[in-house]
Structure 1
């Protein structure tokens, strides 16, 4: 009897170890990392107000715009492309929106901001999908063009936004007890996650990124998918620019500068394969929150901006190191 029991226990233990060995722990690195970093700062900065409700809400507010940009970037990277122009598009959208608001009012201002993203995304998408130019080169060039145009049309001067309605809707106020930026972030993450995981478009994005030739044989128009993800990314970036403008009540060409690096890091840390074919919008959310958590903790710890940039660079290297081809 004891021999049978011992054999069963050994078999059960072996089965448990086998299940553990088959778990892909890299899928959960971002969640484990988030908990570890949060616990570290909670202990280290407990006397600095890290766990206060106001500080935690500030983390969400500060990462909301990056989260929105990163949702669009998730689709681009899952499709095995890259978009380096999103930060500059956000800045250009903010100043165009501010100038249009001043001249024509709320609705034309919002439409003008969206038009920036649609125009830039259409150009990026056409050059990549129709002419076959690598997205890295196209969007790198567009980064400079969008930033230059934004600085040119404003003469490097900030464009104030005096519309209380716009500022309230786009990040400057609350929707009931919920901060506006948090609501925008939740909307984009929810829609982005559902579309990527549950719709035909999402499956085609992943198929194109995973194996373009195989996707074409199954009837996927991979050129159209590439065009659409770059159009989506730029349009989402233009919304992020309006969120910057609403929260800070002005349009500036500097808004969004460097956000492309933070967004890419958030996407890769969140489990989206750098080589395409796999993506997680929820993981991207946690990647953005982790970056915001680290930035907030470093500020409370007294580190200056240059030191924070070093840490962000380390995060990007870590993200690439953890990326793997599916």
Structure 2
């Protein structure tokens, strides 16, 4: 009987730690069978998946910190659109590459700071406050151009932040790996990361242990907004244009990647590496569905089902914990 208990515990532990990798293997096997000879397993398509996934993974890094505290940020898609648009407008007004990049980053950081104030100081539920902020940001982004795109003709900007390559490696992959490494170090190997997890695990205990929980909540929103601002610059560089609709609906894919990667929605547990793998998995599924010939509506249905299953599995893990 004891042996059976140990085996059950081992299985649960294995599922908690390696579910995302098992899911990745299953998806690869599924597409290997269904998309044989259709170009899915080619180096060119693999690089295409990376390009499509990079900005989502970077947003996921920021969102992982927020969810680890038990919060959520539903404004990241709108931040991406506004950041890309203001970056493009700055370029059109004669700003150099570095200044335009700072405009995009500062846009995300400013919105993140507002979200952090509402979350930490006013103690508003992050679901409500960031949902409202999403609408406000989108409305602001509509004002200058009324959803018209703003082209970016600066080749250097487009190379550095989107379409460039370093040898065979897309520049977007470099940005993604850099964000993941920094996020992983912050969450796993720094005092700050331990405090973030402590706030999500038990905020009252964290407060009594001397952690400034309000400060941590403000900071995670600031980090998340900044990462979304960076993603906006990368969207602009990749598409050679800024547009308020960039990032529209991206929240769904980002949340799916974070949750599939093992971050618990109620907070207290998260993995940046898991978020990276989860984001790649979502990107791979989206890419495979396109090759299979599914339309946008069908893709949205599949992705919605994936999110429901991921959250349901995460809840099951919490109950078993």
TM-score of the alignment, normalized to the shorter chain, above 0.5: yes
- Quote the residue 1:185 is aligned against: 176
Q: Which moved more, 1:205-214 or 1:174-183?
A: 174-183
Write out aligned runs for 1:1-326 (5 A).
17=7, 20-21=10-11, 23-103=13-93, 104-324=95-315, 325=318
Inter-CA distance 18–62: structure 2 relative to 1 (3 Å threshold) = closer
Inter-CA distance 309–21: structure 2 relative to 1 (3 Å threshold) = closer
Q: Over residues 186-215 of structure 1, what are the superposed CA-to-partner deviations in whole Å (9 max), with x where a residue is unaligned?
A: 111111111100001100000000000000
Given that residues 26 and 322 in structure 1 are in contact (C-alpha distance below 8 angstroms), is that contact kept between their aligned partners in structure 2?
A: no
Whichever of the two has the greater Rg, that structure is 1
Instruction: Describe the SS at the equivalent of 2:123.
Output: coil
**Within 2, Cα distance between the matches of 1:190 and 1:128?**
27
Q: Which runs of 5+ in 1 are unaligned?
A: 1-10
Instruction: Describe the SS at the equivalent of 1:276.
Output: coil
Paired positions, count: 315
Q: CA deviation at 1:15?
A: 10
Q: Over residues 36-63 of structure 1, what are the superposed CA-to-partner deviations in whole Å (9 max), with x where a residue is unaligned?
A: 1011101211110111111111111111
**Within 2, Cα distance between the matches of 1:305 and 1:22?**
36
TM-score by length of 2: 0.94
TM-score by length of 1: 0.93
Q: Which runs of 5+ in 2 are unaligned?
A: none
RMSD: 1.7
Instruction: Describe the SS at the equivalent of 1:253.
Output: coil
Instruction: Describe the SS at the equivalent of 1:46.
Output: coil
